[in-house]
Structure 1
Amino acid sequence: MTVLYTDPVHLAPTDPALIAGPDGSWWMFYTQRRAHEPAGGVTWVHGTDIGVARSLDGGRSWQYDGVVAGLDPHPGRNTLWAPEIVRAGDRYHMFTSYIPGVPDRWEGHPRTILHHSSADLVEWQYDGVLPLSSDRVIDACAFELPRGGWRLWYKDEAAGSTTWSVDSPDLVSWSEPVQVIDGAPHEGPNVFRLDGFYWMITDEWRGLAVHRSTDLTTWEPAGHILDERPYGHHADVVTCRDPDGNAVGWIFYFTHRTDRLTDVHVAVLRASGNRLVCDRDAPVALDLRQTI
């Protein structure tokens, strides 16, 4: 595996999301878990900020750039998870999972998805809470629709930890939620286009489940990737071309080094028939400046 990044402060970056900045540099936003938090239970995965790392060389090296300031609209210490960032026109939009306070257990706490927007990825304007299917929702993924508008997928824990979606013409108003992927519990949906198809990957905590679609609406199961230990978790994909001109993806995911310590990795992702193929041990000639 190629270790791409680990958080130098708390040693547990998770849920990476990558985007090109306005100056051509690349930014990685992630959940900054606190591996050395002494309090009991799962306090160490709560009370988290959204960390930032930046790369000036196409993703080969990353420098820690602190945490995103001003995202929490409420007083006190609260929890931010799983950033998703897209660009629409001249604005960036961030969707983050929000849990009040610093819980010491997983269950029993409301979870919502916040919307912020920015012109520069530094100063963020709070745009409210998304109107979704329950108050137990996390892990947003937004994708621009081919005929205009946007679709946002997310995990609804109140509906068996399945994937739901809403549509928007402008990232402001939203349609009624609908269930998209049911079955085994999962989280962290990520959608991208590769080799003529749309693909969705989700984290089943035993590797990443894959679904394939021609229309972003109907999804068929397409196997698993990164399902050997240490399992790959909550990934983001950036599409690009390899040195031979073939469309491939760079998949950015995290693994557990120990129960608490995590690292972000990168691997090459290829479409092969109705499946995705990912060799986590193959060399990666990463250059995000070759994205498509």
Structure 2
Amino acid sequence: MKNKLQTLDKTNSWLSKQQIANFCLMAIFCFSFVFNPVSAQSKKKETKEEMRIPKAPLYKCPIGDAPVNPRVIWNRKEKSWFMLYQQRDKNSVLQNDHALSFCFGSDIAIASSSDNGKTWLYRGIIEGVAIEPGHNTYGMPEVIYHDGLYHLYLEYFQGFIAKDTFGDPSRIIHYTSKDLWNWEFQNFIMEDDDHNKNSMCVYQLPNGKWNMCYYDCTMEELRILESDDLYTWEYSRKGPDQKYNSPNVFKLGGYYWMTIDTYKGFAVFRSKDCENWTKQDGLLFDEVSARMDDGSSPHHSGVVQLENKVYMFYYTHPERVPGLSGELDKRLGDRIHGLPHLRRSVIQVAEITVKEGWLSGDRNKPFDFFLPNMD
């Protein structure tokens, strides 16, 4: 009997040790499952795969290889997104050795996306904008939709200009369309003004009136026009005291925002009423991007405003990055524009959000890019 009890005690002892061992193994297994770095990496990879990261560059123009000044808008008739842009030709023969000649003689082209911005298809140039015979220059498109019509504002030069500067007098032309393809001339804006006017941005004020902010190259300042109907415009006031062009105005996070291209990044201003602007410290997107063809400064942007974010579309000159002679060799001066490979440009996209009351963005940070159907 005593031997049986000893045997039973030994058996119970062994079982107790075995149970403890099994419990420890189970605890180690659970701990490894939860905190396993490989598992965490897999989850991170899965999350990244689910994010719809845009390709870089977003778009290259097959005609001329130098798209600039993009504007992206929903086409209500085709049920797809349209990108209107100035179609330059990087291989344009220089007129009288003037470096900026390739910036002129341009048309307004269209690329469309039927898959929510993932891919873009070149479609050709818009129709109906010619106001006189010949090969003339159309640039700096601004397009909005209001009350059943698309409104397009273009900078216009007669002919193919051969210049080293953008200082020649230009005209702002207004067109309307129902489908973004066929445009009807409406009128000239500020026709008696012989200044060089470009980079128009049209936006609606809280009181329902419209403003057009543009850069007056002659006076080197931003100017603002006002309108009740998008057709008749009158000078209202100067814009924020900030040099250079491509203003964009949009609403996000309870504020109106204005971004301005400084050629080193975008200056940012904030307002509650579109009249009194406060400048944000620093520049937006002034960092060097590691994305393909995105290492140089971003230029002349257009925005798509969604509910809680804004996508900014801009162009870059990929070869004009630190370390390349075209960017650093001061002996080239304005001749930098005369070298075809340095004229090449592409369209990129980046996300803008509001962080601690100010605009925030990072061209190197992956983000979810999706242009929803708007109807």
Give the TM-score band, short-chain normalised. Answer: over 0.9
1:167-186 correspondence runs (5 A): 167-183=226-242, 185-186=243-244
Question: How much does 1:2 deviate?
Answer: 2.8
1:61-76 correspondence runs (5 A): 61-76=119-134
Provide the rounded CA distance (Å) in 1 between the counterparts of 2:151 and 2:57: 28
What 5-or-longer segments of structure 2 have no aligned partner? Answer: 1-54, 289-295, 320-341
The AA in structure 2 aligned to 1:235 is S
Determine the structure 1 residue equivalent to 2:172.
Answer: 113
Question: How much does 1:89 deviate?
Answer: 0.6
The answer on 1:27 being equivalent to 2:82 is: yes
1:43-58 correspondence runs (5 A): 43-58=101-116
SS of match in other structure, 1:44: helix
The answer on 1:135 being equivalent to 2:195 is: yes
1:1-292 correspondence runs (5 A): 2-23=56-77, 24-39=79-94, 40-41=97-98, 42-105=100-163, 106-131=165-190, 134-160=194-220, 162-183=221-242, 185-222=243-280, 223-229=282-288, 230-241=296-307, 247-258=308-319, 259-289=342-372
Whose strand fraction is larger, Structure 1's or Structure 2's?
1
SS of match in other structure, 1:235: strand
Determine the structure 2 residue equivalent to 1:244.
Answer: none
Whose helix fraction is larger, Structure 1's or Structure 2's?
2
Structure 1 residues 199-253: Cα deviation after superposition (integer angstroms, max 9, x where no partner): 1111111111111111011111113112134101111121225xxxxx1111111
Q: Is the 8 A contact 1:138 1:156 kept in 2?
A: yes
The AA in structure 1 aligned to 2:211 is R
Provide the rounded CA distance (Å) in 2 between the counterparts of 1:262 and 1:107: 19
Q: Is the 8 A contact 2:73 2:83 kept in 1?
A: yes
Provide the rounded CA distance (Å) in 2 between the counterparts of 1:239 and 1:12: 25
SS of match in other structure, 2:218: helix
SS of match in other structure, 2:346: strand
The AA in structure 2 aligned to 1:260 is R
TM-score scaled to structure 1, two decimals? 0.92
Provide the rounded CA distance (Å) in 1 between the counterparts of 2:305 and 2:64: 29
TM-score scaled to structure 2, two decimals? 0.73
CA spacing shift, 1:209–1:121, aligned 2, 3 Å: same
What 5-or-longer segments of structure 1 have no aligned partner? Answer: 242-246
Question: How much does 1:18 deviate?
Answer: 0.7
Structure of larger gyration radius: 2
Q: Structure 1 segments of 4 or more deviating over 4 A?
A: none
Provide the rounded CA distance (Å) in 1 between the counterparts of 2:124 and 2:249: 27
Provide the rounded CA distance (Å) in 2 between the counterparts of 1:199 and 1:25: 27
The AA in structure 2 aligned to 1:195 is G
Number of aligned residues = 285
Q: Is the 8 A contact 1:238 1:291 kept in 2?
A: no
Structure 1 residues 109-135: Cα deviation after superposition (integer angstroms, max 9, x where no partner): 211211000011111000121017553
CA spacing shift, 1:191–1:108, aligned 2, 3 Å: closer
SS of match in other structure, 1:172: coil
Q: Taking every aligned residue pair, what percent have the same amino acid on both sides? A: 32
Provide the rounded CA distance (Å) in 2 between the counterparts of 1:209 and 1:197: 16
The AA in structure 2 aligned to 1:20 is W
SS of match in other structure, 1:276: strand
